[in-house]
Structure 1
């Protein structure tokens, strides 16, 4: 059973089973009652229509009787211009006898000649309801006017009779009848107390209503029914009292009046409600009987079920399960299953305890192995960081010394110098690869993404490898549409990707081979291709070319060297940029093609301004430089490089000596090693910035530690630049020039 679902007892389910047999009877009874109710409502509408017809006949007879009286007056001898005073007296007597408000005589143009309710000599006003007067004159037929209010503001209507003599219209004789006269006609009929009869004129103004109400217009539902314009009709409406009713109406064809009768729907359904009550009582009695039978028969099942419940509880508690013989076969099978489950439970418990003991042993071993692996990983990271630092320290002075030798221009040592430069660069690349792959696999490599103009990056990469091409030919191909391509990337890491791929192509291409570097756009991606016509790769090599530490089979001389990390780093760096790399080769000796994919980004708004500002402003080639480095060779060679650039340099091999120099040598820029003896570079930076002569000093870190955490720690200590050994001479000079420019800008007013 699902959690939260209400539980139902056996007795309740048996009750539902018995009660379900009554459902067809209830459905049939409901259908019959619905049909009977519909029939009663239809009969009520037809009765309302019949009453409306009868009432319409009575009202029409009363109106025609009025016309008969008017016709008698029209034939009297007093109706002549010379006897109008005698006709006035006659009209007054007739109006009083009939209960009319007045009798009005108008000429053939509708002008009032006399009014029985007014003095004969009094000025006669215009007709109160001129529409019916005009209609009687135009049609020369009797007309029953609409309800209107005269000077006394009492409702009445006019019955008008055109009087013709010798074929000409002479007069219009009108009887002004109060609406109560029509109400009297209605009340003489036998109208049920819950029914309402209403009479309306042509404009649907109420003439009379069997039940008083202040509203003179029909209710909205009845008005909608009457406005259809049919001679007769039926429908369901609501009276002005809000009672739902069945309504029938009839129009008086001769006069345009409407008689409507509404019978309360409750009266029409009286018999149906009684039948519904009888059916409901029968169903309730049947349900009560079903409940009694369910309770009675459930006793024979409840006792065995209670025994099964007790057995299930014992099974859950882990106690032995023993059941008596049950009289119901199905329940006896359930009991046997519970006893078997109890036996199986005991066996499973023993096996589980043994398995838990074994699992605890394995868990302890796995925990110990994981801890050893974490310690080994931490030790590996520390070893690689220290290895990088120790290897970079000797590479820094070697690189600087080679740069100085190049600047001195000794042609006798050029070949040896070039060999050493290539080997130093190769050693630096191996160290960088080792540290990069460690950071990538440990997910500690941080990317600094920014908008990059891809064509510029590709051109720089092509220029960077020119010195090592030898006789090889490098063809740079940038499609016209690719000039506008931008990507979001880390400039240093993407340059590393291109340098690795180009270096790989140079390594595996013959001395006079051809290499192609291309840039194009493919949909929402930028594609950089590095193709060569070198040694190529067979299929078994293609499958593993991006694996770490994998190298294609070589001879015993390992003429091409390497650690097998370059392409693995390329793939990882591109994946971190949301892109990828593929390789294709037609086979051994048929060259290789590497394709780099990078998602295209929108060009930054300031791209044009940045391009125009690409030339660096002129800088002041003067300044005092404090160089602190415990490796004397590295310090001395770097000092010579800076002095040749026109800078004033002081060298300290010890941090204490560097602090003592501040009294007589306030530096503009301080280049500090981090791994100094006695006091590391971070502490020295703080002491230097606290000294009055070093407060405005621009700090540059030159160190063998190059992880992201090392960079962050250097920033926190106040270093503005962080260079990793062996730093290129141009990079060191540019960092110092940046510091000198900043100091100059700060001093300028």
Structure 2
């Protein structure tokens, strides 16, 4: 079908050149699309790795802060005043320890049954028996190991995270020392991270509740993670990467690292929009470059087509002149092959005109020869006629000779 169309409606040269340009740019276009996709995948891989690496580093810093508080509490647990049961003296000691650490809100001493014996924020003997996070206290009593509880709001309306350490005496658990840590310390760690705009960092406790966030703390601290993300945290041991909406509903690449000993999770989210913006910029630049290249190629193809068409028109004129016997004068069109062909046509025209000149001379000579032959033949015919007449007369005379001798008898 296409062959029939080409035969009945052959394409013009400009169209063929434009198709040639398009065919040349098609592989470049496909290669560019593949390159942009490869860049996108590489950027996504780098972004995933960056969020996970940052969550690992921050988890180490958070772990160091928790370990520091646990070590300080363990030091207090070995104090002789506590071993001897001198609670009033020990109250003064823990009060001084809390004042020496501005990120400790208070220090609480509980007995083996979980009953609160003293608080550093209250005078000795004035005891608030309310336990803000009883689950973590029961966990210490059952597992006999240091535990970090869930962030809770205390009597002073300040959110704190309990760090509980068991006090073992004679192989038995006698007390539990708790330091109520203000999240300010962890907030400072997160604030020191110079992350790109739009990134969000959060630290969640074992109850999947945000205890710290890099920004918008008032809006999100104290709120639980989404149920889908909670399930994802439950399904991994230490770390992982996912793509999910962050607390603000922004689709993000999330890298997270868990601290299994403390039940904490450090979560770093990077918005996918930043990656899309990079890719969109790359696509725009590539599309603009490709469009500019296509425009330049089309202009060049148009210029070349104009030269070719002009050269073909010149050759058509030369062919018409040769066909009509006129002299051909070579004209340069800027294309070597056409210029050579034009010169060849000029040479052929000169040779043809020379041959035509020789032919005309030969024809003239032939005409003269023919005229001479015709004249000779005319003379020969006249001579033949005279001869015939003479012979006729002679024959007549020979047949009747007596008539001349005896004219009177006739």
**TM above 0.5:** yes
Selected match of 2:241 from 234, 243, 251: 234
**In structure 2, what is the equivalent of residue 247 of structure 1?**
254
Deviations 1:673-704 (A, max 9, x none): xxxxxxxxxxxxxxxxxxxxxxxxxxxxxxxx
CA shift in 2, pair 1:295/1:200, >3 Å: same
1:653-664 alignment to 2 at 5 Å? none
Work out the CA distance in 2 between the residues paired with 1:150 and 1:229: 32
**In structure 1, what is the equivalent of residue 155 of structure 2?**
151
In structure 2, stretches of 5+ residues that fail to align are 1-10, 311-315, 318-410
**In structure 1, what is the equivalent of residue 215 of structure 2?**
211
**In structure 1, what is the equivalent of residue 30 of structure 2?**
27
Q: Does residue 103 in structure 1 map to residue 115 in structure 2? A: no
Q: Does residue 196 in structure 1 map to residue 196 in structure 2? A: no
Say if 1:219 and 1:238, in contact at 8 Å, map to a contact too.
no
Work out the CA distance in 1 between the residues paired with 2:175 and 2:210: 29
**In structure 1, what is the equivalent of residue 125 of structure 2?**
121
SS of residue paired to 1:78: helix
After superposition, the CA RMSD in angstroms is 3.0
Q: State the Cα distance separating 1:212 from its structure 2 match.
A: 1.8
Q: State the Cα distance separating 1:271 from its structure 2 match.
A: 6.1
Say if 1:145 and 1:158, in contact at 8 Å, map to a contact too.
yes
Say if 1:231 and 1:250, in contact at 8 Å, map to a contact too.
yes
1:65-464 alignment to 2 at 5 Å? 65-80=68-83, 82-99=85-102, 100-213=104-217, 214-215=219-220, 216-218=223-225, 222-223=229-230, 225-268=232-275, 272=279, 275-293=282-300, 295-296=302-303
1:30-69 alignment to 2 at 5 Å? 30-69=33-72
Deviations 1:24-73 (A, max 9, x none): 11111111210121011111111111111110011011001001111111
CA shift in 2, pair 1:126/1:240, >3 Å: closer
Return the structure number with greater helix share.
Answer: 2
Say if 1:60 and 1:252, in contact at 8 Å, map to a contact too.
yes
**In structure 2, what is the equivalent of residue 653 of structure 1?**
none
SS of residue paired to 2:67: helix
60-69 or 289-298: bigger deviation: 289-298
Q: State the Cα distance separating 1:111 from its structure 2 match.
A: 0.4
Deviations 1:587-637 (A, max 9, x none): xxxxxxxxxxxxxxxxxxxxxxxxxxxxxxxxxxxxxxxxxxxxxxxxxxx
* Alignment length (residue pairs): 299
Work out the CA distance in 2 between the residues paired with 1:227 and 1:141: 22
CA shift in 2, pair 1:219/1:33, >3 Å: farther
Say if 2:162 and 2:180, in contact at 8 Å, map to a contact too.
yes
CA shift in 2, pair 1:148/1:13, >3 Å: farther
SS of residue paired to 1:146: coil
Work out the CA distance in 1 between the residues paired with 2:240 and 2:122: 43
CA shift in 2, pair 1:62/1:277, >3 Å: same
**In structure 2, what is the equivalent of residue 502 of structure 1?**
none
Work out the CA distance in 2 between the residues paired with 1:281 and 1:293: 18
1:534-553 alignment to 2 at 5 Å? none
CA shift in 2, pair 1:105/1:240, >3 Å: same
Runs of 4+ in 1 over 3 A off after TM superposition: 9-17, 188-194, 218-225, 241-244, 264-278, 293-303
Work out the CA distance in 1 between the residues paired with 2:196 and 2:226: 20
1:720-735 alignment to 2 at 5 Å? none
Work out the CA distance in 2 between the residues paired with 1:289 and 1:190: 44
Q: State the Cα distance separating 1:185 from its structure 2 match.
A: 2.6
Work out the CA distance in 2 between the residues paired with 1:55 and 1:21: 51
Deviations 1:109-134 (A, max 9, x none): 00000111122222422311000000
Work out the CA distance in 1 between the residues paired with 2:128 and 2:121: 11
Work out the CA distance in 1 between the residues paired with 2:244 and 2:208: 16
Say if 2:241 and 2:254, in contact at 8 Å, map to a contact too.
yes
Work out the CA distance in 1 between the residues paired with 2:302 and 2:196: 52
Work out the CA distance in 2 between the residues paired with 1:273 and 1:62: 41
Work out the CA distance in 2 between the residues paired with 1:119 and 1:192: 47
Output the TM-score relative to the length of structure 1.
Answer: 0.37
Work out the CA distance in 2 between the residues paired with 1:147 and 1:140: 21
Say if 2:116 and 2:127, in contact at 8 Å, map to a contact too.
no
Say if 1:233 and 1:250, in contact at 8 Å, map to a contact too.
yes
SS of residue paired to 2:86: helix
Work out the CA distance in 2 between the residues paired with 1:77 and 1:191: 47
Work out the CA distance in 1 between the residues paired with 2:270 and 2:195: 10
CA shift in 2, pair 1:227/1:169, >3 Å: closer
**In structure 1, what is the equivalent of residue 21 of structure 2?**
18
Q: State the Cα distance separating 1:243 from its structure 2 match.
A: 3.5
Work out the CA distance in 2 between the residues paired with 1:12 and 1:177: 77
Q: State the Cα distance separating 1:272 from its structure 2 match.
A: 4.9
Work out the CA distance in 2 between the residues paired with 1:52 and 1:104: 31
1:513-528 alignment to 2 at 5 Å? none
Work out the CA distance in 2 between the residues paired with 1:167 and 1:119: 31
Work out the CA distance in 2 between the residues paired with 1:134 and 1:271: 50
